[in-house]
């Protein structure tokens, strides 16, 4: 009887431990991101990966890495926006397409999340950084930053294309 | 004799006119106020206007970058402790007065609709808080580019004004 119970419990234990490990890994997994503006010595619209590691917001891009200490973060705000599905050069060239083909292509857009971070450097100077992330990942990143010591106010923000209304409730 | 009277009257009138012009020019901006140090304060907005966080941050960051491009040697950010010892420091306080979010999709599809525009009241003060210059500056994107491009347009215009008043005109 005892051995039967043991047989039931042991697999359960092994099933629970890895799943909790997977959750922990998911929370700190790097996410593809585009730095729109704000990081020192990083070009605008630089692509890279964003993760929260060792108490830092860690952005890895083609030319190196940038870190922002989570304790220096004063505000983290998420938002939703959209961008052209066919962008850059092809999007520009398509504007010359006959019969409004370019305009038709403009109707296709993909959703993106925005993550806006305000922090102060060692001299107390205020910096602001804007990232765009895949949809659904900005809020996870925000929660992670708060868990690692970033300050934030509760913000319920509507899409940037909407009326631009922003409801803000002080939390901390 | 009569000619001499005319000449004297003409000269005195010219003198008065010249003095008026000089005084008027002196009122437009503080005489000889030049600086290459400027501090950018955080972007505020009027109570009834809600500006998305990314717009506020983009306004601030573009402003800092554009002021650096316009020839200011020291552009201090809000709260920078190094700014306390800067001589002739000008502080730029910006308040968003009007904001129209617009739509990039509407711009691309219709060309005429969906304009994004932002109007910011810029106040340049000295360290004591005396106003040196006040002006509303507009930033907009009408045809190409994302909504945030309006913040770049504003920053370019505002930094040009700052350059003209505190670097070029002061020379």
Per cent of chain A over pLDDT 70 is 70
> For the packed helices B53-69 and B149-163, what is the interaxial angle rounded to 10 degrees?
40
Are residues B25 and B80 located together in one domain of the fold?
no
pLDDT reading at A14 higher than 90: no
| Residue environment code for B111-129, b if the CB has 16+ CB neighbours within 10 A, otherwise e | eeebbbbbbbbbebbeeee
Are residues B13 and B48 located together in one domain of the fold?
no
Are residues B73 and B147 located together in one domain of the fold?
yes
Q: What tokens were used for B72?
A: 């200011």
Of B57, B82, B101, the CB nearest to A164: B101
Q: In whole angstroms, what separates CA B123 from the centre of its chain?
A: 7
The number of C-beta contacts closer than 8 angstroms across A and B is 94
pLDDT reading at A19 higher than 60: no
Q: Which domain holds residue B5?
A: 1-30
Q: In which region does residue A138 sit, left (phi positive, over 0), alpha (psi from -120 to 50) or beta (all else)? A: alpha
Per cent of chain A over pLDDT 90 is 46
Looking up tokens 């697999």, which residue turns up? A11
Q: Do residues A132 and A98 make contact, with C-beta atoms less than 8 angstroms apart?
A: no
Task: Please list, in sequence order, all residues whose beta carbon lies within 8 angstroms of the beta carbon of residue B160, skipping any fewer than 6 positions away.
Answer: B70
Counts of helices then strands in chain A (DSSP H, E): 4, 9
- Taking the domains of chain A in order of start, what are their residue ranges? 31-83+110-169
Q: Determine which of B42, B54, B58 to mutate to test the interface with A (most A C-beta atoms within 10 Å).
A: B54
How is the beta sheet containing A73-84 ordered, strand by strand? A64-69, A56-61, A46-53, A31-37, A126-133, A109-120, A73-84
Nearest CA to B38 out of B143, B117, B132, B114 is that of B132
Residues within 8 A of B (CB atoms), A 51-110 only:
75, 77, 79, 81-84, 102-103, 106-107, 109
Report d(CA A26, CA B114) in Å as an integer: 39
User: What is the second-level CATH architecture of the domain A31-83+110-169?
Assistant: Roll (2.30)
pLDDT tens-digit readout, B111-161: 788 889 999 999 999 988 999 999 999 999 888 778 889 999 999 999 999
- List CB contacts (< 8 A) between B101 and chain A: 160-164
User: pLDDT class for A134, splitting at 50, 70, 90?
Assistant: very high
Regions of chain B where pLDDT drops below 50: 20, 22-29
User: pLDDT class for A18, splitting at 50, 70, 90?
Assistant: very low
User: Which residue of chain A comes nearest to B109, CA vs CA?
Assistant: A103
What domain count does chain B have? 2
């Amino acid at each position: 009887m005892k051995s039967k119970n043991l047989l039931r419990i042991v697999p359960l234990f092994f099933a629970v431990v890895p799943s909790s490990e997977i959750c922990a890994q998911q929370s700190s997994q790097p996410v593809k991101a585009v730095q729109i503006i704000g990081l020192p010595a990083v070009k605008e619209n630089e692509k890279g990966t964003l993760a929260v590691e060792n108490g830092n917001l860690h952005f890895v891009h083609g030319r190196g890495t940038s870190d922002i200490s989570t304790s220096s973060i004063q505000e983290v705000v998420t938002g939703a926006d959209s961008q052209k599905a066919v962008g850059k050069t092809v999007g520009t060239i398509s504007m010359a397409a006959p019969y409004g083909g370019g305009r038709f292509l403009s109707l296709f857009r993909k959703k993106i999340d925005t993550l806006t971070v305000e922090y102060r450097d060692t001299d107390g100077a205020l910096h602001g950084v804007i990232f765009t992330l895949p949809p659904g990942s900005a809020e996870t990143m925000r929660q992670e930053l708060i868990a690692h010591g970033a300050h934030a106010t509760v913000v319920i923000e509507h899409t940037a294309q909407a009326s631009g209304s922003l409801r803000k409730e002080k939390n901390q | 004799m009569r000619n001499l009277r005319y000449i004297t009257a003409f000269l005195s009138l010219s003198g008065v006119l010249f003095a008026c012009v000089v005084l008027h020019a002196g009122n437009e901006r503080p005489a000889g106020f030049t600086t290459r140090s400027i501090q950018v304060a955080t972007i505020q907005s009027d109570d009834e206007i809600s500006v998305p966080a990314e717009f506020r941050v983009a306004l601030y960051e573009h402003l800092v970058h554009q002021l650096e491009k316009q020839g200011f040697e020291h552009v201090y950010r809000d709260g920078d402790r190094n700014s306390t010892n800067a001589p002739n420091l000008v502080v730029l306080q910006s308040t968003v007065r009007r904001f129209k979010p617009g739509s990039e999709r509407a711009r691309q599809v219709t060309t005429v609709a969906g304009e994004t525009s932002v109007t910011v009241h810029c106040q340049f003060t000295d360290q004591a808080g005396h106003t040196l210059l006040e002006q509303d500056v507009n930033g907009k994107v009408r045809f190409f580019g994302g909504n945030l491009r309006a913040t770049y347009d504003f920053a370019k215009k505002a930094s040009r004004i700052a350059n003209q008043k505190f670097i070029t005109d002061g020379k």
